[in-house]
Amino acid sequence: MSNTSTDTTLAQRPLRADAARNREKLIAAGREAFASDGAGASLEDVARRAGVGIGTLYRHFPSRIDLVEAIYVDEVRALCDSADGLMGLPPWDALVGWLHRFLRYVAAKQALAADLFAHLGEDADVFRSCRAAVFATGEPLLERAQHAGAVRPDASFIEVIQLVGAIAKITSAEPVEIERILSVALDGLRYETQPSRT
């Protein structure tokens, strides 16, 4: 479903097996550290969580922003790849399942995105590439649901993700409540035959 293979930002250069494992461990550890300690998490803590030395971290990620960018891109890749596992579902269920995954992605990545915006600017290549990957993944899911008659035909993908993004940024509700709000809002996308006027 995703078209990230042609995307230079999302594609990684091949690494030796041990180097690739260390990179993956560092990204996973960075994700955990930033989730628990926020953007101020120390790189020493990231290296410790990954079970590698700080020198190994710096070989892969010369600066904090390099690590943040790698985590951000990895999350976008995971979001896009998640669509593949939904294609066996009916069109409406596949779309809703992916949009709930998108909701969790937006909610979790706000701090990372803000950090990247501050350092790189909103027009940086990484954001253009990631937006393109999200559109290449999510837009076909919406179109498939529309062609099946499950979603109103006048809804555009940009409108849908703006809706989901706004819901993800509600700070006064618990995650389970946010998921519920999204479910209610998505019911407005369902196609309903309008009663004929006589």
Residues 108-148 pLDDT 10s: 887 778 788 888 877 889 889 999 999 999 999 999 999 99
Burial class (CB in 10 A: 0-12, 13-18, 19+), 185: middle
Residues 6 or more apart whose Cβ sits within 8 Å of residue 167: 103, 178, 181, 182, 185
Residue 191 structure tokens: 């196609």
Query: Amino acid letter at 22?
Result: N
Residues 141-179 pLDDT 10s: 999 999 999 999 999 999 999 999 999 988 887 889 999
Residue 151 in 3-state DSSP? strand
Q: What is the rounded average pLDDT of the residues 75-90?
A: 94
Which domains are seen in the chain, by residue range?
Answer: 4-189 (1.10.357.10)
Residues 32-81 pLDDT 10s: 998 888 777 899 999 999 999 999 999 999 999 999 999 999 999 999 99
The per-residue pLDDT for 15 is 61
